[in-house]
Amino acid sequence: MNQARFWKLAAVALTFTLGVILWGAFVRATGSGAGCGSHWPTCNGDVIPRSPSAATFIEFTHRATSGVAFLLVALQLVWAFRAFPSGHPARGGAAASMLFMVTEAAVGAGIVLLEYVAHDASAARALWMAVHLINTFLLVGAMTCTLYWARGGRRVRLRGQGSTGALLGAALAGVLAVGVTGAIAALGDTLFAAGSLREGIAQDLSPAAHFLLRLRALHPVVAVLVGVYLLAARGAIAARRPSPLVARLSTATGALVLLQLGAGILNLLLLAPVWMQLVHLLLADFLWMVLVTLAAAALGEPAAAAASGPRGDKAQPEAVATAL
């Protein structure tokens, strides 16, 4: 098992996991979360469901592909520990990816076993959705960093980063906040679908509105505020950490912020159809991946320190741009 081919496995694992995440959103958007009943890991008590309904097929497919993603991340962990020396950041990234994949499976199992699926509109379901979203983003972030480090990215140094570290920390926390409010808004869209934009606004403003509808209005406000911050912060980060890679990632961050805001407006005007929800989520994942990579690149060790790392490996961060 060599380093030269490890990044290809990391790229495949990350791409496949993104597909599983989108399919999970499809499960929620179509109300198919109860397709396997309250059984886990079996589906309605069977390992392979017989004559499944549409909802059962959708939910079972999500479980099956989640299992494949789990195996890919496990293989990535084994390969990383065999291909890279002790202390190499790719090992840490692969270990973190495995940890978050395990917790991802645990959260998913909890949602099913506690029956926070289908038409459940409880506060507990909203809380579990928020936890699920945060864990998913942490998983994607860890897998993105694994790929970055496998392609020669430098180890991250957190100490002594000053205002740059603070800017990036706030940016990452802000995107997580947008993701959480977005997950809750998507749940509200699914459970309380509106027939028109006017009807949707009336739902949100009604004194008797369900709490999910009241929280739904929070998402666009948080998204705009965080988007404006990202557009400003990315330039400051690029100025403080000048390099071709940081500059490209900063530009990509700005482009994705504008694209995501546009997608959010379109999603609102179209009354959140399933396909648009998936596009919106995919763009959110891309923005998160680029921002995480920007943070890793901007907070990376100086070239001299990286070159003196395990086996004297020389960092090649410019190679990461084509990988991501």
Residue 245 has pLDDT above 60, yes or no: yes
Cα dihedral 81→84→89→91 (10° resolution):
-10
CA distance 8 to 3: 10
DSSP H or E stretch at residue 127: helix 123-150
Q: Is the peptide bond before 41 cis (omega within 30 degrees of 0)?
A: yes
Residue 53 DSSP label? -
Q: What band does 44 get if pLDDT is binned at 50, 70 and 90? A: confident
pLDDT digits (tens, 9 = 90+) for 157-214: 988 899 999 999 999 999 999 999 999 999 998 898 888 888 888 888 888 889 998 8
CA distance 45 to 54: 17
Residue 111 has pLDDT above 90, yes or no: yes
Interval 301-320 mean pLDDT: 51
Residue 147 has pLDDT above 70, yes or no: yes
Q: What is the pTM of this model?
A: 0.90
Interval 53-75 mean pLDDT: 96
Contacts 24+ apart (CB under 8 A), 236-242: 236/163, 236/167, 237/164, 237/167, 237/168, 237/294, 237/298, 240/163, 240/164, 240/298, 241/164, 241/297, 241/298
Output the pLDDT for position 316: 45
Structure tokens at 185: 């808004």
Average pLDDT, the chain: 91
Contact 213, 204 (CB under 8 A): yes
Structure tokens at 20: 């599983």
Structure tokens at 150: 């496998």
Output the pLDDT for position 321: 47
Interval 88-112 mean pLDDT: 96
